[in-house]
Amino acid sequence: MQRLPRVTHSITESTATVVLSNPAKRNAMTADMWRELPELLGRLAVDPEVRALVLTGDGPTFCAGADISSLRDFTEPGSTPQELAVRAEEALAAFPKPTLAAVRGYCVGGGSQLAAACDLRFAEEGALFGVTPAKLGIVYPASSTRRLAALIGPSATKYLLFSGELIDTGRALRTGLVDEVLPEGQLAKRVGEFVRILVSRSQLTQAAAKEFADGRTDRDEHWAEQMRESGDTAEGVAAFLERRAPRFTWSA
């Protein structure tokens, strides 16, 4: 029996794993999947158990973009394919804890849009990336274009958007579209190792760094006050001197 397209999740060792699941169509996003994602992210954002989030695809591919056959489902005002995709992208970019896209296979169109909204991207060798609106005569959203340009630079962004061509992991790594490339069969292990590192670190440091790196630089005093009040600095120093793992308590 063919499974219905959906967005699923699980929480293990303080990490939420969100899975884009439409395997019959390389996990292409349906209207319902676009709608599900921001709602799910909103719940996970306020879950104290969650300290990091991994976004991935069901099976051997990440996401092949929008499910073109579902475009007739986009009929309500404010629910065009671009509007729903941008809403999901913005929810992912605004997620208050570290996010990592684990990419296998195709990461195209809306898939690349979601991956670019994550803080980090790890890919398995053989993955292919592309932003393909030029093949359909679609104007890529301004906010998504700016996010991509901030990540990989104007020239690489124009290459992808002008041509709609797919690039391999070697070029994606060189342009900064991905942060690590893993041999086949090693992606899950490396992602698991890395998120265990993330969840052991200070959420205070991570939350402030995420804001600053994303361009919000007007809250220095806010974060200085959080640092003074949290006790995490004292705990970090004590743990270092005592040669033990720190027990940070501040949470996003």
Which domains does the chain show, CATH number per domain?
6-197 (3.90.226.10), 203-242 (no CATH)
pLDDT category of residue 158 using cuts at 50, 70 and 90? very high
Q: How many CB atoms lie within 10 A of CB 249?
A: 12
Window from 73-77, 162-166, 226-230 with minimum mean pLDDT: 73-77
100-105 average pLDDT score: 98
Eight-class DSSP state of 70: G
DSSP-assigned beta bridge partners for residue 245: none
Instruction: Supply the pLDDT for residue 136.
Output: 87
pLDDT-derived band at 217 (thresholds 50, 70, 90) equals confident
More confident residue, 129 or 73: 129
Express each pLDDT in 127-154 by its tens digit. Answer: 999 999 999 898 999 999 999 999 999 9
Retrieve residue 109's tokens.
Answer: 């169109």
Alpha carbons 54 and 214: distance in angstroms, whole number? 19
Q: What percent of the chain has pLDDT over 90?
A: 87
Mean pLDDT confidence for 72-99: 83
Q: What is the pLDDT of residues 17-68, one digit of tens each?
A: 999 999 999 999 999 999 999 999 999 999 999 999 999 999 999 999 988 7
In the three-class reduction of DSSP (H, G, I as helix; E, B as strand; rest coil), residue 248 is classed as: coil
Count Cβ atoms below 10 Å from residue 178 Cβ, excluding itself.
Answer: 24
**Would you call 100 helix, strand, or coil by DSSP?**
strand
| Bridge partners of residue 168, in order along the sequence | 128
pLDDT, averaged across the chain: 93
| Start-to-end Cα distance in the chain | 41
Cβ-Cβ contacts under 8 Å for 153 (sequence gap 6 or more): 175, 176
| Segment 177-191 mean pLDDT | 98
Contact status, residue 57 vs residue 96, Cβ threshold 8 Å = no
- Note the pLDDT of residue 169: 98
Q: Quick check: helix, strand or coil at residue 84?
A: helix
**pLDDT score, position 71:** 59
Contacts for 75 with CB less than 8 Å, ≥ 6 apart:
none
Residue 72 has pLDDT above 70, yes or no: no
Q: Which residue has the tokens 């600053």?
A: 212
User: CA dist 118 to 16, 27, 53, 101, 210, Å?
Assistant: 14, 18, 9, 6, 11
What number is the average pLDDT over the span 153-170? 98
